[in-house]
Amino acid sequence: MKAVKIILYVIGGLVLLFVILAFIAPVNYHIERENTIEAPAEVVFEQAVHFSNFQLWSPWSDLDPDMEVKIEGTEGEIGTTYSWRGNREAGVGTQTLVAISGDTAFIDLHFKEPFESEAQSYYIIEEIDAERPITRITWGMYSTMSRPLNIMGWLMNLEKAVGEQYEDGLNRLKELVEGMDWKPEIDAEAEEPEAASNGMTEEDDG
């Protein structure tokens, strides 16, 4: 009987600890990382917001080389969806482009596996130097984890874990974009009249 009481006390203590942790652990998360890329804002926007390009630099694309991806809608337009189904690490879910306001694109995330949850992510894409050019991209996410699931987020150190993934993704995006030939081609024929506009001709030169 004494042993049963000890077991009950231990179970009761664990339950109490579990409840306390559920109220101590944060429920709301705001994660944000940024990077600068030597390219125009429109080039960065296309590579970040167009889902077919996202697959090329996503920090999660390596989790499952055989991951199934389906894109529905018109790239870069409101309502376009990106659905994925992968292994246990990659999980299953959908992201939807829901709004574009100025330099910010908003995306709704719906995770289905390994557990059900929702989040809102965004990209802020600002050209901070038009001459070079240099663009700053900020990648962020707002998420709410209900109790007691918030304990798992706290134990996983969600802010640090997702933040590191965002940093990895932005570094990949930077490498991808800066390695692209995005500069417009110069039309040599279009430049010829400008050279002649100085009033110099072969006859004048003689």
Does residue 190 surpass a pLDDT of 50? no
Residue 8: inside a domain: no
Rounded distance between C-alpha atoms, residue 197 and residue 189, angstroms: 14
Residue 13: inside a domain: no
Q: Among 94, 101, 104, which residue's Cα sits nearest to residue 73?
A: 94
Residue 50: inside a domain: yes
Q: What angle do CA 122, 102, 175 make, to 5 degrees?
A: 55
Does residue 18 surpass a pLDDT of 70? no
Q: What is the pLDDT of residues 20-56, one digit of tens each?
A: 654 555 667 899 999 999 999 999 999 999 999 998 9
Residue 103: inside a domain: yes
> Can you tell me whether residue 154 is helix, strand or coil?
helix
Q: What CATH number is attached to the domain comprising 164?
A: 3.30.530.20
Residue 187: inside a domain: no
Residue 200: inside a domain: no
Residue 72 belongs to domain spanning: 34-181
Q: Among 160, 136, 193, which residue's Cα sits nearest to residue 31?
A: 160
Structural domain count, the chain: 1
In this prediction, residue 59 carries a pLDDT of 92
Residue 2: inside a domain: no
Q: What are the backbone angles phi and psi of residue 109, rounded to the nearest 5°?
A: -110, 135
Q: What is the pLDDT of residues 52-75, one digit of tens each?
A: 999 899 999 888 988 999 999 999
Residue 62: inside a domain: yes
Residue with tokens 């050279």: 195
